[in-house]
Structure 1
Amino acid sequence: MASIDRIIQREVNPFDPVSLYTINFWQEQQNPTLNVDSIHQNIISDIETVLEQVAQEHRPRTLILTGDSGSGKSYLLGRIKKLFNTKAFFVYIDPWPDSDYIWRHILRQTVDSLMKTPEGQTDSQLLLWLKGLLAFQNGSLLKKIIGERRVFIRSLKGIYASGIYNPNDFFSALYYLLNPNYISIACEWLRGDDLDEDDLKYLGIKGSIDSEDSAQKIMTNLGIISAASQPIVLCFDNLDNIPRLLNGSLDLQALFNINSSIHTHYPQNFLIIISIITSTWKQNSELIQPADKARVNAGYFHLKPITLAQGECLLAARLSPLHSLAKPQPKSPIFPLSTEILAEKFPRGKTLPRNILELGRKEYDQYKNKLLDEPGNVQTSTSETKLETFKLIWQDKYQKAQKKINKITDLAAPELIRMLQEVLNAVRFKGVKTKLLSGKYASHSLSYKQQNNEEIIGVIWTEDPNMNSFYNTMSACQKVADKRLCQSLYLVRAAEVGNAKNMSNKIYRKIFKGRLKNLHIQPNLESVHFLATYHSLMNAALANELMIEGKIISLKELEEIICDSQILNNCSLLQDLSVVDPVDNQEQQSDSDLDEVKDFVVNLIKTQCFMERKNIIENTLNKFINIEQSKIYKIIEELEGEQKIKNITPTSKLERQLVCFIPSY
């Protein structure tokens, strides 16, 4: 076994900045070995009590979880989900794009979360919920009901004789959730996708969920019938990026309207957790109607700073895997840190979990740099690694977006437009406004001013497969064109546009094929991943959760980094919209996948100062599961040839050689 110094030399910093913040608990799974049970344990116990009350009484409970940025609110939500996923079904709801769309957003996020599979289970939450609801214990009855939709619908209508909105369509969708061949379409209907006529016929359903009123009533249906199964926990998080009112304050009233509506129905098997930064709550809570605040019937829970003893446990949990490899074992479980360093940095004896982890990252890096402090070796400054650390964070969030979003229609049009709006603001376009269209499809559109002139560009993004909806969208576009509300109009749509016989297609061809400045842009999934990645980082920045090299990154700073890195220049949708400069032909002809791996390797080495070749390869294989190991060896050799990295232990075995970054001056 190697010494602890040798292990520190060769391994990645366990306080990796990429993993120092957690957002969506379904998107970013927690490592249970890193949990410290004593941290916020009293709040976890109290929330468990509230959850049990909901399960027993089938009446909704609402609680507000506050804490400073870095106190671990989002992480705590993940712990609660992990601890109680056998007692309840968990839904993560991130910021809604438009308050006129909030019920549909909540429904969509609820169904998406219910489609996730809890640890240790083979069925999704949705199927577990449905099976628990129906309590199928008689195999012959199950076979009979699955084999006959009408029997299924009639049975449930008999159980729920009143209170269910649109019972024929709703129970028909539930019926098809039990059929593997139709579960995808049934979920799409349930989450509010505007299905085409053929899919609706397959499900035996008349129409889609296309309004706030119908989405609200479907959520009420879920709350009513879940009383026969387990509670559904709705977790609202990251609320600093919700829509704002004209005075600049957050539109929290929209959320509390939702909460009050849920409380007016019985039974409702919902536990609602509203997680919000303490300062954000103080600044905006006075604008909420007193009657709606009174609906917070499970109380307010505040995350306090942790003790230094708990901080030591956090550090020890991260360092333990490295210590277990060392011989002799370090005398302190938090080496290379010490209790003296903690007492010096936090003289009051308490601090936030993020501050502890950031201290661990910094002290670990400093100790590792000292091990490299030998003649002929070079070190990398913090300023040099800021951009590289950001690129690693971007790459991590981009890959999470790839896993979460499998097709463009996984996101609704208002979400896509909101993400595009955020990117346009980031790259400093002026006059960015949503709702260029009027009426029902207003939130599917935006406008902005072209760079270097005052021309207004209009963008409509719709992926609804239903041709009636497409016709209505095209009619709204025609009104915009007739009123000359913009000089150029872009339709962003990957879905079909119908055939020459459709009225919708005729209007489409008139607007986007008959006018020079109007274009139809067909986006690819990769472009959506770009937009979603920036959206995730923007959420983190607004919540003061985005930290790079020990510094909390504001939204303004994030926008500056985005522009400096030119990371969005590879987004083909933004190229088609003339928002970014297209990459040159040589770059386009290169192997983009290998370029991404090469960037990861050099950024990894640069941020870690130096690493063992074996661990560089292992980290790269973990990040890019489809790449061959031989190609990583080749990339390392190329980087050595380009004098971007240096082998500082050439006499060691190949896999055990230490490789460091060579800064360019």
Structure 2
Amino acid sequence: MIGCGGSILGTQRAIATEHAAQGILANLGRLAADTQPIVLCFDQLDNIARTSEGVIDLQAIFNVNSTIHNPRLRNFLVIISIITSTWLKELIHVVYKGEFRPRLLPSPTYASQLFSIEVSRVGRVGIAWNEDPNLTSFYHVMNACRRAVSLDLCQQLLFIRSEGIGKPGNQGYEFYQRIFTDTPHRHITPSLESVQFLATYHSLVNAAASGELVIAGTKPSIDDLESLLNESNVLRECDLLWDLDLLNGRRPKRQRVSKRDRPMHQPIEIRGAELSDVRTFLLDLLNAHQLLGRQVLVNAGVNQFPMPPATTIHQLVDQLQQQEQLQVLGALNNPDEQLVCLPLPHNETRSHLSTS
């Protein structure tokens, strides 16, 4: 079959142009007309290039589909699978060198969300992470966790989630209560700082894999990057790794001053450098989520930084809008209902405001 196909297509030398490649694909499609469609599967894409604005360039991937669709090439099926939940696995590989199983259940449905590691004093520890606010998705993950526990696939299950878990009467909630009430299994709520660690390392891994990361004039490999992180001990500040019992030694204490601990008679002085850190944090958070409620953004700033009060962060949001670094949408007299996003084109901004 290969020899026949080769003679029919006439592929005696390397394909030099995109037009020639499309001709080859068209011929392959004709050969497949009487059999099965040709499946082009781009599976588990992760190291995806970003646009100049820092957003994942999905269009570059979907252009592959357009290249096949526009010339009307027939008998092709294009499947594009994009991974969005590998952050924790990447960081675990840095600090944990024991047995790692990428799947906790035989089924591939939740393979990216459930995996396991071997811990000497505990045994097999399953780890699941789901932040989908959709409670139907939460139910399916809880059902998968229930199966893993009932099949004795792990001695302890650690479930990571900061989103809600529903309420009594929801089946996902009922599964959650059975799994995590009076059992060795634990529910961990990740801190925003921990998510920042994961996201930052994920970006560094992608940059190292593509050869775009430069440190001290050299381009480190992923192994070099792991060694650098271990030598610096910076990951000892990641609360989630401590919650998962992946770090040894004494856990560092957080030196944070709560609002009620501040003397009421002393004014709060905020330095320019501190406001600069807050400004950077707000913009980074907005870049990650694209669209947030104004109050959600302000609360995140208050939780991250102990000194600036909410009123100061609100003023900072207004200042960033004046500098056209972000856009505030919604009624001007009701901040609780306002949305904050990255700057929009002027015609799109007017459209949003007119419908608010």
TM-score, normalised via structure 1 length: 0.29
Whole-angstrom CA distance in 1 between matches of 2:109 and 2:67: 28
Deviation at 1:577, TM superposition (A): 0.7
SS in 2 for 1:449: strand
Aligned equivalent of 1:512, options 149, 161, 180: 180
Structure 1 position 624 matched with structure 2 position 291:
no
> CA 1:483–1:261 in 2, change beyond 3 Å: closer, same or farther?
same
Among 136, 142, 162, the residue aligned to 1:468: 136
Paired residues in the alignment total: 225
The answer to whether residue 97 in structure 2 is matched with residue 429 in structure 1 is: yes
Deviation at 1:553, TM superposition (A): 1.9
Question: Would the alpha carbon gap of residues 511 and 233 (structure 1) be closer, same or farther in structure 2, given more than 3 Å must change?
Answer: closer
Provide the C-alpha distance between the structure 1 equivalents of 2:279 and 2:201, rounded to a whole number of angstroms: 25
Counterpart of 1:492 in structure 2 is: 160
Q: Would you tell me which structure has more helix in proportion to its own residues?
A: 1
Look up the match of 1:415: 84
2:146 is matched with 478
- Match among 70, 76, 95 for residue 266 of structure 1: 70
Q: 1:504 to 1:436 in 2, by over 3 A?
A: same
Separation in 2, partners of 1:474, 1:263: 40
Q: Residues 532 and 467 of structure 1: is their aligned pair in 2 closer, same or farther, counting only changes over 3 Å?
A: same
Q: Which residue of 2 aligns with 1:541?
A: 208
Aligned to 2:113: 444
**How far has the Cα of 1:439 moved from its partner?**
4.2
Change (3 A) 1:414 1:507: farther
**Alpha-carbon distance, 1:428 to partner:** 3.2
Distance 1:454 1:552 in 2: 39
Output the amino acid matched with 2:109: K
Q: Could you tell me which of 449, 458, 465 is aligned with 2:126?
A: 458
Q: Residues 318-337 of structure 1 correspond to what in structure 2 (within 5 A)?
A: none
Change (3 A) 1:588 1:582: farther
1:100 Cα deviation after fit: 4.9
What's the offset of the Cα at 1:453? 5.1
Q: Please, which of 576, 580, 589 is the counterpart of residue 247 of structure 2?
A: 580
CA-CA distance at 1:480 after TM superposition? 0.8
Q: Distance in 1 between matches of 2:187 and 2:203?
A: 27
Q: Any conservation in 2 of the 1:575–1:582 contact (CA below 8 Å)?
A: no
- Within the candidate set 173, 179, 190, 1:523 is matched to 190
Query: For 1:98-126, what per-residue CA distance to the aligned partner results, in whole angstroms no more than 9, with x for missing partners?
Result: 96555xx89xx99x979x69xxxxxxx9x
**Alpha-carbon spacing, 1:584–1:528, altered in 2? closer, same or farther (3 Å):** closer
Shift of 1:478: 1.2
Q: Deviations over 1:491-547 (max 9, x none)?
A: 11111111121111111111122412x111111222111001111112222233333
Contact 1:457 1:490 in 2 (8 A): yes
Matches for 1:192-211 after TM superposition, within 5 Å = none
- Mapped partners of 1:583, 1:99: distance in 2: 44
- What are the superposed Cα offsets for residues 433-480 of structure 1, whole Å, 9 maximum, x if unpaired? 323232422221221122x45722111111122222221211111111
The 2-side partners of 1:566 and 1:536 are apart by: 19
Contact 1:463-1:495 at 8 Å conserved across structures: yes
- Higher Cα Rg: structure 1 or 2? 1
Alignment of 1:161-560 (within 5 A): 234-235=59-60, 261-266=65-70, 414-416=83-85, 418-437=86-105, 438-450=107-119, 452=120, 455-516=123-184, 518-560=185-227
> Would you say the 8 A contact 1:427–1:562 is kept in 2?
no
CA RMSD of aligned residues (A): 4.4
* Percent identical: 31
Change over 3 Å in CA distance of 1:462–1:544 after alignment to 2: same
Kept in 1, the 8 Å contact 2:117–2:124? The answer is yes
SS in 2 for 1:447: strand
1:552: how far off? 2.8
- Tell me the residue number matched to 1:589: 255
In 1, Cα distance between equivalents of 2:237 and 2:170: 36
Cα 1:490/1:263, change in 2 over 3 Å: same
Shift of 1:588: 1.3
Equivalent AA in structure 2 for residue 545 of structure 1:
E
Q: Do the aligned partners of residues 266 and 530 (structure 1) sit closer, same or farther apart at CA in structure 2, a change above 3 Å counting? A: same
Q: Deviations over 1:531-587 (max 9, x none)?
A: 0111111222223333332333222221111112111111111111112248656x4
User: TM-score, normalised to structure 2's length?
Assistant: 0.52
**Structure 1 residue identity aligned to 2:150:** D
CA distance in 1 between counterparts of 2:182 and 2:104 reads 21
Q: Is the 8 A contact 1:419 1:535 kept in 2?
A: yes
Measure, in 2, the Cα distance between the counterparts of 1:553 and 1:535.
Answer: 15
1:601-643 per-position Cα deviation (integer Å, ceiling 9, x unaligned): xxxxxxxxxxxxxxxx99x57963669xxxxxxxxxxxxxxxx
Residues 534, 486 of structure 1: alpha-carbon distance in 2 compared, 3 angstrom cutoff:
same
- Equivalent pair of 2:122/2:155 in contact (CA under 8 Å): no
Question: For structure 2, which runs of at least 5 residues remain unmatched after alignment?
Answer: 1-17, 23-40, 259-270, 281-356
Q: Is the 8 A contact 1:424 1:432 kept in 2?
A: no
Whole-angstrom distance in 2 between the partners of 1:448 and 1:493: 19
3-state SS in 2 of match to 1:547: coil
| CA deviation vs aligned residue, 1:224-245 (integer Å, no higher than 9, x gap) | xxxxxxxx98346xxxxxxxxx
Amino acid in structure 1 at the alignment position of 2:116: S
Q: Distance in 2 between matches of 1:564 and 1:495?
A: 34
Q: Could you tell me how far apart the structure 2 residues matched to 1:455 and 1:414 are?
A: 28
State the 1:590 CA deviation.
5.0
1:551 to 1:431, Cα distance in 2 relative to 1, 3 A: same
CA offset digits 1:395-417 (Å, max 9, x no partner): xxxxxxxxxxxxxxxxx99523x
CA distance 1:561–1:502, change in 2 (3 Å): same
Distance 1:625 1:589, change over 3 A: closer
